[in-house]
Amino acid sequence: MTKNGMNLTLKVWRQKSDKDKGQIETYQVNDISEHMSFLEMMDTMNEQLISAGKEPVAFDHDCREGICGSCSLFINGEAHGPDRGVTTCQLHMRKFKDGDTIYIEPWRSKAFPVIKDLVVDRTGFDRIMSAGGFISVNTSGNTQDANSIPIAKDDADHAFDAATCIGCGACVATCKNASAMLFVSAKVSQLALLPQGKIEAKDRVLNMVEQMDAEGFGSCTNTGACEVECPKGISLDNIARMNREFMGASITSDK
Amino acid sequence: MAKLDAKIPKGPIKDKWTNHKNHINVVNPANKRLIDVIVVGTGLAGGSAAASLAEMGYNVKSFCFQDSPRRAHSIAAQGGINAAKNYQNDGDSTYRLFYDTVKGGDYRSREANVYRLAEVSTNIIDQCVAQGVPFAREYGGLLDNRSFGGVLVSRTFYAKGQTGQQLLLGAYSAMSRQIGKGKIKMYNRHEMMDLVIVDGKARGIISRNLITGEIARHSAHAVVIASGGYGNVFFLSTNAMGSNTSAAWKIHKKGAFFANPCYTQIHPTCIPRSGDYQSKLTLMSESLRNDGRIWVPKNMKDVEAIRAGRIKPIDIKAEDRDYYLERRYPAFGNLVPRDVASRAAKERCDAGYGVNATGEAVYLDFASAIMRYGKEKAIIIHEPKASEARIQELGKKVIEDKYGNLFQMYEKITDDNPYETPMQIYPAVHYTMGGVWVDYNLMTTIPGCYAAGEANFSDHGANRLGASALMQGLADGYFVLPYTIGDYLASDIRTGEVSTSSPEFDEAEKAVKDRLNFFINNKGTKSVDHFHKRLGKVMWDKVGMSRNAQGLKEASDEIRIIKEEFWKDVMVPGDLNEFNQELEKAGRVADFLELGELFAKDALNRNESCGGHFREESVEPDGEQKGEAKRDDINFKYTAAWEWKGDSKDAELHKEELTFNDIELKQRSYK
Amino acid sequence: MALSGFFLLVFLLQHCTINFLSVISPASFNNVSHFMGTNPLVQFALQPVLAFGVIFHLAMGIRLELLNRSSRPIKYAMEKASENANWMSRNMIITGIMIFLFFGLHFYDFWFPELNTKFIMGDMSGLNPEGGFRYFEELQHKFIDPIRVGLYVISFIFLSLHLMHGFQSAFQSVGFRHNKYTPIIKKLGTLYAIAIPAGFVFIALFHFINH
């Protein structure tokens, strides 16, 4: 522990359940080390609440190394806080200073209803995936050899870049329209770039976009905020590619 | 011994799996529709098993405690996945992968299982590429490989440092397809609370909806546990915060034997703890040891000066540094296996040479590599007279190309620039080789209850090689379990739907509710984490990297005390019927407390050093290997499978003798 | 939005070009204006298409904005939107509506009198009482009032802000994005968003000063 930790005022969204209205409550935490991760600061706050006989603040978190996509806080007006290229669990307290007031809110979107406090329901993403985020190939010990179809390194690399999306929902949280285009386009792009995925590319993009709209996500107006706040740096290229794929499929598909 | 029939097929090792598949029963497609299978966990093993079973036609119910199946902790695996494809033409083969894995596991795994693993490894790569997993490729468009974990061939397929993520998302995609078709019924944010056994067979589970608190009964004809490892018994580990042993432990208490709990992998290159608030540890890929040199200061006065901040590591001259791995293991140097590197770091830190405030950190230094690469690069770009500064600049660029994302991650976490100053690293708990005992078919000692992936004990012996965990999880889920489960289910086609209104379900549900009620009503004074941290400290200090009989006995006693206090004094705020993360943790820590005790008991029983398990009493007494781990094949060439007898301390040991027909047993040497 | 946007981009370009004739050569301006004002193809085919384009763009824009707003029923207590997106991209509805309001003035000034002269009074000659074309004269006459000129200038600033985002956004929406060409499109967009409104402003000020 450092001797001179920070004292912080936390403005935290509290909401008992999806039926509750919810409000911001203020908590004070003291002697916070700059080496702590943001979630460890939240742990400290919760330990404090528990000892005071109060209910701790619920928030999603799991791997705490920036890859599972569970953590999801809107910190001081930005998804995953003020740092770039990190998730909340990778955000460290050295980004704040003594005496700061920090707003901590859940992702806000009609499609991500609050479950409790800072925890939201992101199953809409799962449903979009079920609508088409896959290649229809059954498990088989007799698929063709992995090297039978060479894939241009650039295509493979771009597919990989798109595939690094962790499904955290920061794009939706950040977008002024709560649009899920970056998430959906990352999966559409990944699979559209690979020869294996091209076979059902048309149906995929149409079905995934249809489900995306049904979930209540907003539309893309190209503000580019999602790309800036995405902890994995998923590019707007993917959205453009999905727009292309979608237009092409809409015009040429039989359905 | 009758209870422990591994059901290893007869015949030569290379034909066992094929013959077995040819002769086991299969369920006809029309009947598969009438059969329900529950899969707990959606990581590589659970996800791939659920998807494959659903594709085959079974009705699958899949459970995960996370908010989405995609978040299972397999996602965090970095390095890669092994497969004996021999694409690099360097002489790899099924046998070689099999041999490396058995040897790497320090001859404590089951030969037949490992051979099968090596055999299906190639199918995994084919399957994943067909699913759209974007593995790294060469310019010619073919798949790239790298060498990993000190083996002699390049057989590791990878997707940058995110191989686990890409493989898991592949399995998740396959699951999503079946969810869309209604063949998998997905239960997100549901925790398995107990297994239900009817007439001696696994027939369902009791689940808790983590959002509403609703307790529900789910019946099935078979139950698959793929809930991962139990590294979080140490509180601090590289596992996810939610990773837990509860599903595995529940089935253990219902009759599934638990094998080799003491086999734990402690990974040498993790970012050290920075304070008591620490909630988890972060792994830095093993690949860093290819270029980093590990050292601590030779002189205590330098250690003190560094801790006080009076000098920096770069101020210490080369002759005042102790490159202890190079000193002790001249042949392998910094590339010794994980368990050896970890113990050596602990030895130096225990002797007082740790370089940070907690005394638990050593340096991983890239300065030599930067200069070496810089000089090479200077020659390539025709700058023979490059200044030292220029060479450094060139060298840093090379290092950045190789490890840029890791260096950046390190800097984000520690605020230190590893290009300028050595990294600090320390070992951390990473993987558990032990787990639920399973036979060749991956069935536990409970009929109809299976365990797959890290949750079972089967393939890694006493130590796991790098890039083998992903291979095993997917092998189990895609290519082993879907076949072997049919053998069991073939006799179940006339059962019809299993009813949940039986006394067995009543009883199981009541026990679950009673325990949850207890937690809420206990109104103690200390949080769940308080007990978890205490358990972790005992485990780390006395059941960690280096173990001895006295320490293990003390650990058992101490864990019992913590357990008693836990049940008396734990405080769980909030209500039963709501989203209550403290309540979730309470149940998991209660199970960890019991597991921790069995863990210590197993470690005490195994009076030999093998793989990740190091007993101070079992070291080479003299000669070149003096002080190194000494395996005891005469007394301990067995799998220790423990049967629950009402309390961890009363667990009964069953031994599965290991036979090695295709591999000669040797002592490992890295001198 | 993007398709109607492209259409309007083309319209704006030709509108600005023709107006610019009024600075260079009042006579050609008169000729072209007369052609545009009396050619049946322009009047009965292109003009309705334009009207439809404008109304469609506006209606879709408002609909989009309403839908998007409903996608986030509860707002953030603290939101630092400027950290990740520029003002123009976030406020297309404001700049758009300002431009629409400007249409009121613009139609009052030009389109309604035109309709009145041509279709109600039936004077398709395009001539003033002196026998010359009336268009240039009418144009110049409108820019005497400094308040009107001021309103025009402000409106064109809104137009510029709208175009700053709209131009490159339209390309992104139709999926035209390429490492090589997108930077050029972005530069072109900025150039367009400055040059076209600046052209209109210049024309207004020119006539204000030279009337």
Q: Report d(CA C81, CA C86) in Å as an integer.
A: 8
List, for residues B8-60, the tens digit of each pLDDT value. 999 999 999 999 999 999 999 999 999 999 999 999 999 999 999 999 999 99
- Residue-level pLDDT at C151: 95
Q: Is B247 helix (H, G, I), strand (E, B) or coil?
A: helix
User: Tokens 């976009």, residue?
Assistant: A209
| CA angle at B64 for the pair B273 and A123, rounded to the nearest 5° | 100
Contact A113/C at CB under 8 A:
no
Residues shown for chain B:
671
Same domain for A133 and A228? yes
Is there a domain that residue C123 lies in? yes
Q: Do A221 and C78 touch (CB under 8 A)?
A: no
CATH second-level architecture of B503-636? Up-down Bundle (1.20)
Which of B149, B82, B468, B478 has the alpha carbon at shortest distance from B287?
A: B149
Inform me whether the pLDDT recorded for B286 exceeds 90.
no
User: Cβ neighbours of residue B252 under 8 Å, at least 6 residues apart?
Assistant: B258, B436, B642, B644
- Portion of chain B with pLDDT greater than 70, in percent: 99
Query: Six-digit token pair at A207?
Result: 């079905």
Q: Is chain A adjacent to chain C, meaning 3+ CB pairs within 8 angstroms?
A: yes
Residue A85 lies in a domain: yes
CB C15 within 8 A of CB C47: no
Mean pLDDT within A121-142: 96
Which chains are adjacent to chain B, needing at least 3 Cβ pairs under 8 Å? A
**Which pLDDT score is estimated for B2?**
52
> Does residue B89 sit at the A interface (CB-CB below 8 Å)?
no
CATH class for the domain made up of B269-427 = alpha beta
Q: Is C161 domain-assigned? A: yes
Which pair of structure tokens corresponds to residue A79? 């998804």
- Contact present, B329 and B670 (Cβ < 8 Å): yes
Closest alpha carbon within chain A to B277? A40
Task: State the Cα–Cα distance between residues B409 and B550, nearest whole angstrom.
Answer: 40
CATH code (residue A243): 1.10.1060.10
Identify whether the C-beta of residue A65 lies closer than 8 Å to the C-beta of residue B242: no
Q: Is the model's pLDDT at A77 over the cut of 90? A: yes
How much is the average pLDDT of B220-243?
A: 97
Residue B589, pLDDT score? 98
Q: Are B340 and B354 in contact (CB under 8 A)?
A: no
Nearest to B55 among A50, A83, A139 (CB): A139
Is A223 at the interface with chain C, CB within 8 A? yes
Contact B417, B312 (CB under 8 A): no
User: Is the minimum CB–CB distance between A103 and chain C shorter than 8 Å?
Assistant: yes
How big is chain C, counted in residues? Answer: 211
Span C13-35, average pLDDT: 94
Write out pLDDT tens, residues B174-186. 999 999 999 999 9
| Claim to verify: residue A184 and residue A90 sit in the same structural domain | no
Q: Residue A159 falls within a domain, yes or no? A: yes
Q: What would the mean pLDDT of B553-582 be, rounded to a whole number?
A: 97
**CA angle at B602 for the pair B591 and B587, rounded to the nearest 5°:** 0
Partner residue facing A62 (CB), from B143, B160, B241 = B241
Give the per-residue pLDDT at B1.
Answer: 44
Q: Please choose, from the candidates B597, B632, B622, the residue with its C-alpha nearest in 3D space to the C-alpha of residue B233.
A: B597
pLDDT beyond 50 at A1: no
* Residue A42 confidence class, pLDDT cut points 50, 70, 90: very high
In three-state secondary structure terms, B152 is coil
Contact in structure between B105 and B637 (CB atoms under 8 Å): no
Indicate if A40 and A91 belong to the same structural domain. Answer: yes
C-alpha distance from A69 to closest chain B C-alpha (Å):
7
On whether residue A73 sits in a domain, the answer given is yes
Tell me the pLDDT tens digit for each residue of C141-191. 999 999 999 999 999 999 999 999 999 999 999 999 999 999 999 999 999
**Partner chains of C (3+ C-beta pairs under 8 Å):** A
pLDDT in tens, B624-661: 888 899 999 999 999 999 999 999 999 999 999 999 99
Given a cut of 90, is residue A50 above it in pLDDT? yes
This prediction's pTM: 0.96
One domain for residues A155 and A247 = yes
Provide mean pLDDT across the span B204-224: 98
Q: Say whether B203 sits in a helix, a strand or coil.
A: strand
Structural domain includes residue A236: yes
| Residue C43, pLDDT above cutoff 50 | yes
- Whether A174 is in a domain gets the answer yes
Of the residues B208, B338, B343, B615, only one is catalytic, namely B338
Instruction: Count other C-beta atoms under 10 Å from residue A182's C-beta.
Output: 28
Evaluate whether A53 touches A43 at the Cβ level (below 8 Å): no
Q: What average pLDDT score do residues B557-586 get?
A: 97
Chain B residues closer than 8 Å to A39 by CB: 279
Examine the pLDDT at A2 and tell me if it is beyond 60.
no
Average predicted confidence (pLDDT) for chain B? 95
d(CA B39, CA B37): 6
Asked, for residue C205, whether it belongs to a domain, the answer is yes
Has residue A115 been placed in a domain? no
Cα distance between residue B347 and residue B335, in whole Å: 17
Cβ-nearest to C71 among A216, A228, A236: A216
| Alpha-carbon gap: C53 to the closest alpha carbon of chain A (Å) | 19
B338 is an active site residue: yes
DSSP B231: G
Position A3 pLDDT exceeds 60: no
Measured between alpha carbons, how far is A184 from A191 in angstroms, rounded to an integer? 11
**For the range C35-44, what are the long-range contacts, defined as Cβ-Cβ under 8 Å and sequence gap of 24 or more?**
C37/C114, C37/C118, C37/C126, C37/C135, C38/C118, C38/C124, C38/C126
Tokens found for residue B595: 């597991």
CB contact under 8 A, A222 and C71: no
Contact B118/B622 with Cβ under 8 angstroms? Answer: no
Which element (helix H / strand E) includes B270?
strand B264-270
Q: What are the tens digits of pLDDT across the range B603-624?
A: 999 999 999 999 999 999 998 8
Distance CA(C19)–CA(C13), nearest Å, equals 10
Number of domains in chain A: 2
Residue B263: exposed, middle, or buried by beta-carbon count in 10 A (0-12, 13-18, 19+)? buried
What DSSP state is assigned to residue C45?
I
Write out the residue range of the structural domain in which residue A185 sits.
122-137+149-252
> Does ipTM exceed 0.90?
yes
pLDDT band (50, 70, 90) for residue B149: low
Q: Which residues pair with A174 in a beta bridge?
A: none
Amino acid at site B390 = R
Residue B143 pLDDT > 50, yes or no? Answer: yes
pLDDT digits (tens, 9 = 90+) for B340-387: 899 999 999 999 999 998 899 999 999 999 999 999 999 999 998 999
Cα angle, residue B62 at apex, residues B57 and B66 outer, rounded to 5°: 150
**Mean pLDDT, chain A, as a whole number?**
96
Distances (CA, A) of A9 to A50, A96, B426, C79: 18, 11, 34, 17
Q: Report, as an integer, the average pLDDT of B242-271.
A: 97
Three-state DSSP at B89 gives coil
Query: Domain range for residue C38?
Result: 2-71+92-210
Does any domain span residue C10?
A: yes
CATH code at position A30: 3.10.20.30
Q: Which of A165, A25, A45 has the alpha carbon at shortest distance from A103?
A: A25
**In chain B, domain spans:** 269-427, 503-636
Q: In whole angstroms, how far apart are CA A224 and each of A179, B535, C61, C83?
A: 11, 47, 18, 11
Tens of pLDDT, residue by residue over A222-237, are 999 999 999 999 999 9
3 state DSSP class of B451 = strand
Residues A67, A168, single domain; the answer is no
- Sign of the torsion formed by the C-alpha atoms of A173, A179, A181 and A184: positive
CA–CA gap between residue B639 and residue B261 (Å, rounded): 10
Residues B306-320: b if buried by 16+ CB within 10 A, e if exposed: beeeeeebeebeeee
What is the reported pLDDT for B150? 63
Q: Are residues A128 and A15 in the same domain?
A: no
Residue of A nearest to C172 (CA): A240
For chain C, the domain total comes to 1
DSSP string, B98-131: HHHHHHHTTT-S-HHHHHHHHHHHHHHHHHHHHH
d(CA A228, CA A128): 23
CB distance from A176 to chain C under 8 Å? yes
A204 plus A153 within the same structural domain: yes
pLDDT over 90 at B466, yes or no: no
Q: Average of pLDDT values for A134-153?
A: 94
A68 domain-assigned: yes
**Chain A contact present for B65, CB below 8 A:** no
| Alpha-carbon distance B143 to nearest alpha carbon in chain A (angstroms) | 7
> Tokens 């058995």 appear where?
B102
